[in-house]
Amino acid sequence: MVSPYELTLDEWRERLAHYPRFRADQVWRGLWQEGRELHELSSVPRALRDELAGEYSSQLVVESRVESDHGSTVKWAFRLPDGASIETVLMVYDDRVTVCVSSQAGCAMGCTFCATGQAGFTRHLSEGEVLEQVMFAARTAAPRRLSNVVFMGMGEPLANYAVTSRVLRRLHDDRGLSARHLTVSTVGVAPAIERLAREGLPVTLAVSLHAANDETRSQLVPLNRRYPLSRLREACETWVEVTGRRLSFEWALIDGVNDTDRAVDELSAFAWDLRAHVNLIPLNPTPGYLVRGSSRERVREFRDQLRERGINVSVRDTRGRSIAAACGQLAYVTEGRRGVSLRTRAGTS
Ligand code: SAH
Ligand code: SF4
């Protein structure tokens, strides 16, 4: 079985070539604009729906659902047909509705402070599996319109490059999302950043920097040994030159590791010429990393010190922390004790 979201409008036209042309348009519109599932396409004749049901079906089975922030944050664990699990988070704000999608089941990058990295890599997701996460969240958010997609769930989107770039294009073409509202977060796969810059998609790029000296960064982000800061910097410069867009640096503040005065100097030196925006993320707790996040007070001070140096900086909220849905907390075992007790606390299932 294939996900119905794998097919583009042209592919639906080809698949349904022996029907009047408007049928393909109806199916495509129902799936993408109305966010319906195939069996809900009541304008399509029953016989055709049954025929399609034999070939296409949703790839995501809800394994668990947890809510927090009075229902405005929802995290799902989905099981895929081969048994792999992924997580997706929906965040409803006053001015936007954002879904955080996974691009891989697990992650091979092994960042020490990240629950997904601690759990290891299972496999890449397919185009349909990523798109279905978006459409699932869009259906849940209705009647609010899903406006933003961030690739900040499980996995390294630029390690699954072909799928990520096609998904970005299709969210723009099929779902009509503004490319500016699509954010790719990467740990710093330098050649892939350069390639993405040349795709002609004005998406937003977030680079997970976390340290601006090679020694510390290599400890936190093993990929830094392959693409050290000088190489990453080149890629960031190419991004800015080619796209004309700013990028942002993500920085998870870890007590005594990357929240020192020296770190302020190194980060401002790295971000300044690039005119990059800095997003500070208070470190979220994960089971396999015992170092603490910086205190709230230090987070504020660190922000102020960067501001004094003229850096454009903000502090990311820790939405979803109580349900282990915040940045870096997505692991593929949600049925463990932690998941169950938190779900009970949130009072939903
Ligand atoms: N692989 C990509 C995208 C997924 S991770 C990347 O690394 O950028 C999404 C964001 O969560 C990244 O900025 C990552 O550095 C951050 N993150 C990972 N673990 C975290 C933790 N324990 N606390 C806060 N942020 C974390
Ligand atoms: Fe992978 Fe990103 Fe986690 Fe690093 S921070 S292990 S790249 S998901």
Q: What is the rounded distance in angstroms from the CA atom of residue 108 to the CA atom of residue 118?
A: 9
pLDDT at 122: 96
Q: What is the rounded distance in angstroms from the CA atom of residue 88 to the CA atom of residue 153?
A: 7
Residue to substitute in 185, 187, 209, 249 for testing ligand 2 pocket (most ligand atoms within 8 angstroms of CB): 187
The minimum-distance atom of ligand 1 relative to the CA of 329 is 22
Please choose, from the candidates 237, 238, 251, 127, the residue with its C-alpha nearest in 3D space to the C-alpha of residue 187: 251
Q: What is the rounded distance in angstroms from the CA atom of residue 82 to the CA atom of residue 126?
A: 12
User: Which pair of structure tokens corresponds to residue 249?
Assistant: 């640096």
Tell me how far the alpha carbon of residue 15 lies from the centroid of ligand 1, in angstroms.
40
| Torsion over CA: 255, 258, 261, 264 (sign) | negative
Tell me how far the alpha carbon of residue 217 lies from the centroid of ligand 2, in angstroms.
13
Tell me how far the alpha carbon of residue 185 lies from the centroid of ligand 1, in angstroms.
8
CATH class of residue range 61-345: alpha beta
DSSP string, 150-200: EE-SSS-GGGGHHHHHHHHHHHHHTT---GGGEEEEES--HHHHHHHHTTT
What's the pTM value of the predicted model, to 2 decimals? 0.93
User: Which pair of structure tokens corresponds to residue 78?
Assistant: 């989905």
Pairing of strands 148-151, 61-68: unpaired
pLDDT at 335: 38
Tell me how far the alpha carbon of residue 211 lies from the centroid of ligand 1, in angstroms.
13
Domain boundaries, the chain: 4-53, 61-345
Query: Which residue has a Cα nearest atom 3 of ligand 1?
Result: 152
Q: What is the rounded distance in angstroms from the CA atom of residue 319 to the CA atom of residue 345?
A: 16
Q: Which CATH architecture has domain 4-53?
A: Orthogonal Bundle (1.10)
Note down pLDDT in tens along the chain; length 349 residues: 899 999 999 999 999 999 999 999 999 999 999 999 999 999 999 999 999 999 999 999 999 999 998 889 999 999 999 999 999 999 999 999 999 999 999 999 999 999 999 889 999 999 999 999 999 999 999 999 999 999 999 999 999 999 999 999 999 999 999 999 999 999 999 999 999 999 999 999 999 999 999 999 999 999 999 999 999 999 999 999 999 999 999 999 999 999 999 999 999 999 999 999 999 998 888 887 777 899 999 999 999 999 999 999 999 877 777 767 676 777 644 433 333 222 222 222 2
> Can you tell me which residue has the tokens 């922030």?
69
User: Which pair of structure tokens corresponds to residue 41?
Assistant: 């396409």
Active site residue 327: yes
Residue to substitute in 208, 279, 283, 332 for testing ligand 2 pocket (most ligand atoms within 8 angstroms of CB): 208
Query: Which residue has a Cα nearest atom 8 of ligand 2?
Result: 155
Q: Which residues line ligand 1 (CB under 6 A)?
A: 113-114, 152, 156, 185-187, 208, 250, 252, 281, 283-284, 286, 327-328
Q: What is the rounded distance in angstroms from the CA atom of residue 185 to the CA atom of residue 191?
A: 15
